[in-house]
Structure 1
């Protein structure tokens, strides 16, 4: 009797095949997410970081944009250095809207026997602040706070000044020749951000008080800012653009520095974009590190599903169908992890805004940013696909029999080409997203290259370690012999542990080297070689007497004094400064005004790198010497023509030479240094430094400052120690933020480490139960595993220290341009901790296994 054999139905294809894969994947997931904890956590952590950073940056950017008028004090601001605007210039601005004026400069607050301190003076008119609110304690009208009473002008002071000089509201100080009464504490000023960072506390006075101080001398370093508020009926963007364009043509030689409400603080915006990119790259690092955890989790998932794979293939499912179903399942889990990260990342700016509302110095508008969240989601899903497709693809061609015996003899065949292509396409998509949304594509490319190199190197380290372990002679000690065999056997943990540990230690080590170099530079190297004081606004007529007083107060000290003015680069070879494509490191030279000087001879701390210095009696066309590094950054060469606006005049000079400048000495040096004939007869003040004698002869700093404040009230003294402390505070805050953000990547490394060890627990369970059945003691098993983890951890940590040192060297010397300090203490501590954590995590899981009888486990193997 012959039976009829029914043909095997063709597997569904197209839309029905996708629907079937989704339905089966969803049905399988209904059984729970056991084994996917590290997978979800790794993706959520990386996506959360990227989403939070991007959303917070968007909030800050939108806050700056919305509050641009308040920050600027108007729709546009026109700034001049050294001089006030002429009547014609004021008439031009007044014809476009209402004007308010602010003058800013540094000065000395003299409190008599209580000492003197540097202050950032802000002199305002009667209409201040115009837009926004000035908050003082006690709160009073601006006219009462700053008005004159019996010849004494009023002031609002930063509480820091009162604390520094032991003052209280109502006390009177001297600023220049004017008596100033401190009538209130300054709580907040609406346009604080536009002024930038200062070295001294704020002192808010009237412009009448500023003129009474006598500080406004020819060449004084004072900035006059004219803020224009457009009429309500003509306050659109077109009117604002027309005002700025007309200012560039009708007042061509004015030397304005112009800002609009759209870019109230360009420097802050650029720094925000750079820092956002850095934090995004940190988040991407956390995601890529977490990708190793994704791969571990998927391998563990594949291992747990071997019987399912075999069963499906045995009943007729194709390898492609098996992979499609389980890839769908993995990507659904990836979507869950990504979704969790998006929710946390979207909520982070709102939590930040609520927690730091009274602390943040900038307007912050928390907002949902769909575009930024979409980019973060792309990062997460592409990372999951890159790291999941190859472990899953391996199951395509493995025969049913191999799936059943894979626990004993893992199949070593590679995934099909299609899965390699999918992985490469996903990787290309990840790189494309990173480049497309990078603030600086060059930095993004460097980052991608570095991360690729580190991954390849770590892979090479793990392969080399396994190859070396195979060739080493077998130790007589059984624990050592087993530890050595475990490090290279099929399914060994070596690749996963080397990747997770190596990346984590490299990141920690790089941070440690950078932090050590910064700290050493700020606290040790600079103060030993730096001057004690900088003195600004020394009148030419009093310069000889000023020198005599300093030599009397500081016998044997080295005094260096040079003429100083401020100027703004207008054009290079006829190309406007705004149109020059400068490098990131040199863009600041073209932004705003710069200190300039002239000299007969090459200043100390610099040397001619290219070209020739002018003769001492030179009388020809104006010449300029430019810092070589920044000249390269803006494309400036010997013979080029440089136009600079000084005191309202455009002066064109030919580049005669380029100098190599040693900026770290903190001596007097300038980016631009002109031949003396360029500014013959121009009004200017002097800048001086004094470096204490080795024996430290002379009185106290407080006594010196008191005498100078009395005899030279227009001179501003900046103590280098105070300036360094201010810089150190800013750098410290930045370093804290970097450590906090990098901590996320380190947390990802720990998750990956835990996931790698968890992924190997099934194999360890099998080994441990067999060993216990054969009579192995708990001590023998634990010591074998501890030696294995310690050896792998030690090699990974050493590689991480070396890689971190190289990365730290690159950042310190090439980006920060400071001396690299090769102190490995912090890096070695990180490496030691990493090895300890590896052994602890590994043995914790093993102890759980060994705590139960072998029979209960062997029945389920």
Structure 2
């Protein structure tokens, strides 16, 4: 009889062309039953391809606009001081130079009624070397900030005018001088290079800076020297120049950046955010993979007679596997193609929709590498979830295939298919980890997702086990619902798997968001001081403290000397070459750090290792290091730390380590040095003020007004304003993450709909028989509604536990914060699960109950 299916007893290579012909012939009947399959694959692929393409477009946009963002081909930054004559001559030898000074200061109305923290920027005539600074009136910047009638001009963000309630043409006080607001800034080309801002921009001429009296020894001011090279150098040439400068001037304390890394902080943030969204897209694919498995299983049920015919005519199990594997690949490629088209269009749509929101213009384009990544993810996911159900059909005899709907088909496939499934899953996880921005986080995410998936399988089996052993109940509807949960071919595994991962992810994100908000608005706000006062000069310190004690007699004051410096080397290893003990812990080595010296152990710190130095210590320089940062870097007591402060490199030995309460926002430093380290060095002071009890806002603003008018060169930062701004940023980020993560929930809904559709056939038989035996439509709807409600509630409970554990880990172990469970989030997750399961279930049930009994009964 094998002659009716020629070639099916040959090797795989010989039978594959024939299997392909059969597969394509069967597909002529259309895609009915595979729409969910295609949609699941397309959704996940579109998410991954779109996210990675947008990330690439943002990175390319930053690189393309690197000169304008940085303000030059190269940027040299000094802190506390200007470049000396030798350094200035060297910079001039590289090309055209523009000098910019940035610092925070207090701007005030002349009558002293209003004041605001501003991001001050003093520029010279050549500024900007690249890009264009556009003013509202269109006048040149040099004209707008020039001195007229003895008063310096200034331009500002519109937000500053709103905060001070002033208009263009009005005058304000800055430090010890008066400025006239001559225009409003519309476009500032190098704004991204400045990092996070706590106030609106105020821009003045560099020549006006001395009149403000803000620049004092130890003032927290940064000098940026941008260089424009002619002709424009390539990135390789720039890299060579940077290396040459580091080698030829190893003692220079400036930080060098090129247009290749014009905004490293933003690029790191883009990389991390893209990694998270890629993992979310991968989660959507995994959830969709459940839909793939459901669709294939349901499709094979409809092909029982065809497969039985093949087997009876001599077809081998391998031949049958090849036929439906080809069909699966064809259908997966259709879904992947749809996803790739959508993913390729997302950067263009995002560029148009977010043109007024994003800080840089997207370099929208079609990126083959990113689309290829989506293709690989989509194909591997389809294979990972298709091999198992396809493999089960290999050894099942025709009689068992006809009985599969009754027995449930719990048999495992052959070892070759188990091995192929395992290899595909491992390859999927390996690619996700190897291509991740932070491999540790990616690894944790993959392991957590795999663990959640396995737990969901176990939970589904436990639900069925428990339902089967429950004592009989009197309610007919409830008894039928419980029986449906554990009967052969029940929807329980599909429903639990489809919703579990998506809901767990959303619960975790909601709890992380809620705990971060609570930490900011409640815990930190209660513990933090009300004000930070920066740039208090040594000769003003006592007078300033006296003023605060008179104006706020019940307040708590804390004052410490403050300098800025950067870590040059650790144990004689340059900071750029130092490899931390833990990935992602090199934040201490990036940029400048606030440092101080103390004779005694600071408040808000606990000595965790080593001993504190005596108050009259006069030996070699010693330093106390934050214990957590030291552990992350791999430092121990006795190691050497070299810092550059005010142009001098100072090497100190780690004498002890401290546990620091960063959450209190009190005065804390990563590094605290022994007092003899900076003897005679010019520096300013940092002071905080806070109350033990709640103080009215009017009292805080009155104190701010008094301080600003009496000490115009002291910068005051109101902590509530800073927390509010950070909270707004967290809220915006949270909404963006929730929106992106909703992709997983959409995939869950698709899989749920597919699972219900797959069970449609068996539900029709059940409904018809029950209606024939006298069951009414109302009683059947109640029974099915109870079934879906029970499954939805159990899934929601699992999501709460799994999402809660994930959120707890992120908050406490990664972010170092405190975690609380939020009941509103729990209720919301349960409500979503119940609405989805009961809603979709009853919609499908209503269609089932509308079937005519006669056609079904004739085929029994």
Aligned equivalents of 2:844 and 2:481: distance in 1? 16
Distance 1:413 1:636, change over 3 A: closer
Counterpart in the other structure of 1:160: 159
Counterpart in the other structure of 2:233: 235
Distance 1:65 1:487, change over 3 A: same
Partners of 2:2 and 2:313 within 8 A in 1? no
Counterpart in the other structure of 1:509: 507
Counterpart in the other structure of 1:651: 650
TM-aligned CA deviation for residue 14 of structure 1: 5.4
Q: Show the 5 A alignment for 1:270-285.
A: 270-285=268-283
TM-aligned CA deviation for residue 529 of structure 1: 1.4
Q: Show the 5 A alignment for 1:446-525.
A: 446-525=444-523
TM-aligned CA deviation for residue 8 of structure 1: 7.2
Q: What is the CA deviation profile of residues 504-540 of structure 1, one whole-angstrom value per residue up to 9, with x for unaligned ones?
A: 3212221221122112112111221111110000011
> CA RMSD for the aligned pairs?
1.8
Counterpart in the other structure of 1:851: 850
TM-aligned CA deviation for residue 692 of structure 1: 2.6
Aligned equivalents of 1:100 and 1:695: distance in 2? 47
TM-aligned CA deviation for residue 410 of structure 1: 4.4
Counterpart in the other structure of 2:266: 268
1:753 aligns with 2:752: yes
Residue segments in structure 1 that go unaligned for 5+ positions in a row: none
Aligned equivalents of 1:685 and 1:594: distance in 2? 15
Distance 1:245 1:9, change over 3 A: closer
Counterpart in the other structure of 1:74: 72
Counterpart in the other structure of 2:824: 825
Counterpart in the other structure of 2:114: 115
Which stretch of the first structure deviates more once superposed, 396-405 or 554-563? 396-405
1:10 aligns with 2:14: no
Counterpart in the other structure of 1:55: 53
Distance 1:248 1:561, change over 3 A: same
Q: What is the CA deviation profile of residues 57-103 of structure 1, one whole-angstrom value per residue up to 9, with x for unaligned ones?
A: 11111111122111111111110100111101111121121211110
Partners of 1:513 and 1:824 within 8 A in 2? no
Aligned equivalents of 1:341 and 1:518: distance in 2? 34
Which stretch of the first structure deviates more once superposed, 149-158 or 420-429? 420-429
- 1:714 is paired with a residue whose SS is coil
Partners of 2:110 and 2:171 within 8 A in 1? no
- 1:33 is paired with a residue whose SS is coil
Partners of 1:115 and 1:702 within 8 A in 2? no
Q: What is the CA deviation profile of residues 741-794 of structure 1, one whole-angstrom value per residue up to 9, with x for unaligned ones?
A: 111111111111111111111111111111112222222322222222222222
TM-score by length of 1: 0.97
1:258 aligns with 2:253: no
Counterpart in the other structure of 2:604: 605
Q: What is the CA deviation profile of residues 98-144 of structure 1, one whole-angstrom value per residue up to 9, with x for unaligned ones?
A: 21111000011011344111000011100111110101101111211
Distance 1:8 1:170, change over 3 A: closer
- 1:659 is paired with a residue whose SS is strand
Partners of 2:154 and 2:183 within 8 A in 1? yes
Q: Show the 5 A alignment for 1:129-278.
A: 129-232=128-231, 235-278=233-276
TM-aligned CA deviation for residue 842 of structure 1: 1.1
- 1:95 is paired with a residue whose SS is helix
Which stretch of the first structure deviates more once superposed, 109-118 or 127-136? 109-118
Distance 1:252 1:354, change over 3 A: same
Which stretch of the first structure deviates more once superposed, 142-151 or 310-319? 310-319
Aligned equivalents of 2:616 and 2:405: distance in 1? 89
Partners of 1:57 and 1:276 within 8 A in 2? yes
Aligned equivalents of 1:569 and 1:407: distance in 2? 69
Counterpart in the other structure of 1:775: 774
Q: What is the CA deviation profile of residues 141-185 of structure 1, one whole-angstrom value per residue up to 9, with x for unaligned ones?
A: 121111000111111100000001101100100111121111111
Aligned equivalents of 2:17 and 2:696: distance in 1? 87
TM-aligned CA deviation for residue 584 of structure 1: 4.5
- 1:179 is paired with a residue whose SS is strand
TM-score by length of 2: 0.97
TM-aligned CA deviation for residue 697 of structure 1: 8.6
Aligned equivalents of 1:14 and 1:623: distance in 2? 73
Counterpart in the other structure of 1:442: 440
Counterpart in the other structure of 1:394: 392
Aligned equivalents of 2:764 and 2:493: distance in 1? 20
Counterpart in the other structure of 1:361: 359
Distance 1:195 1:860, change over 3 A: farther
Q: What is the CA deviation profile of residues 173-217 of structure 1, one whole-angstrom value per residue up to 9, with x for unaligned ones?
A: 011112111111111111111111110100011101112101010
Aligned equivalents of 1:171 and 1:709: distance in 2? 19
- 1:300 is paired with a residue whose SS is helix
Aligned equivalents of 1:163 and 1:538: distance in 2? 28
Q: Show the 5 A alignment for 1:378-777.
A: 378-582=376-580, 583-692=582-691, 694=693, 696=695, 700-777=699-776
Which stretch of the first structure deviates more once superposed, 673-682 or 18-27? 18-27
- 1:681 is paired with a residue whose SS is coil
Counterpart in the other structure of 1:39: 37
TM-aligned CA deviation for residue 16 of structure 1: 5.2
Aligned equivalents of 2:696 and 2:842: distance in 1? 64
Partners of 1:375 and 1:433 within 8 A in 2? no
TM-aligned CA deviation for residue 13 of structure 1: 4.7
Partners of 2:4 and 2:313 within 8 A in 1? no
May I ask how many residue pairs the two structures share in their alignment?
857
Partners of 1:334 and 1:381 within 8 A in 2? yes
Distance 1:697 1:806, change over 3 A: closer
Partners of 1:520 and 1:821 within 8 A in 2? no
Aligned equivalents of 1:5 and 1:388: distance in 2? 28
Residue segments in structure 2 that go unaligned for 5+ positions in a row: none
Partners of 1:554 and 1:699 within 8 A in 2? no
Aligned equivalents of 1:285 and 1:74: distance in 2? 42
- 1:414 is paired with a residue whose SS is coil
